[in-house]
A and B are shown apart, each in its own frame.
Chain A
Amino acid sequence: MLLTELAEKIGGTIVVDNPSANITAAYTSDLLSDVMGHCGEESALITIQNHLNAIAVATLVGNEAIVLCHSRPVPDDMKAAATREGIALVTTPLSQFAASVALQELNPSQK
């Protein structure tokens, strides 16, 4: 799934773009240790963690994009880190659950 398509499905705003993103799965969690333990590559991470550590974890697990729920503001340092690491950032007014439902086709277990 392309980033534009993902953003459209969740009524999101692309804060940091990554036109080459190829998103094949998604994982929803606010617990970064859990993300490291279970999130697959080429995933979109659906979370409310709007800080640098989310970028650090996304980089480690190979996320393509981070979806920040409840329109959480994106701090400048997070934006800069995402740009540097090539990770797309999308904000959405939806909750984690609603965003997950809207992106259900990215559920890895349904493939």
Chain B
Amino acid sequence: MTAINLLPTEISPKGPVAKISNLIKNLAVISFVLFLLTALGMLAMFILNSVQIRSLNESSEELKTSIKSLEATEQGLILVKDRLSKAKLVLADESGTEEAEGLGSLTVALPGSVALTEAVIAKNGLETTFIATDSQGLTVLMARIISQEAFSKVDLVSFSFNPNTGYIPSFAVKMK
């Protein structure tokens, strides 16, 4: 195709001006094409993301409906967790349970000449008073107290002897 130049040939740009002009034109075309391609790419990505988000939201809505139908189970789970945390607090509270167990292991199968007369079980210790009608019974009682691994400390609070009743020792026990 023949190029038509309506300008007088003497005023048409020549030499380096024409070259620069062509270069700028080419650059403008290239940058415009790049813009179009980038815009198209981003549009495609935008549409793809929109579809994915919509799909995820729809799926989430279905799950929410399903979870709502399990509301009673969720309430149960929350209640279970709440009660367990409360039970943990209760079990961490001090109790005379260990002291009661200690008294049980101390008094089980004592000889007939030894008897417990008084005991006070508290959260922080155990106080006991025994009566032993003979020294053999007293020895057995002492051996029993010493052999208790659950006791961390045993204080002999008082010790008396009455010829009519026998030996009367009192102990204050701390548990481990």
Q: Do A and B bind each other?
A: no
Query: A interface vs B, CB < 8 Å?
Result: none
Query: B interface vs A, CB < 8 Å?
Result: none
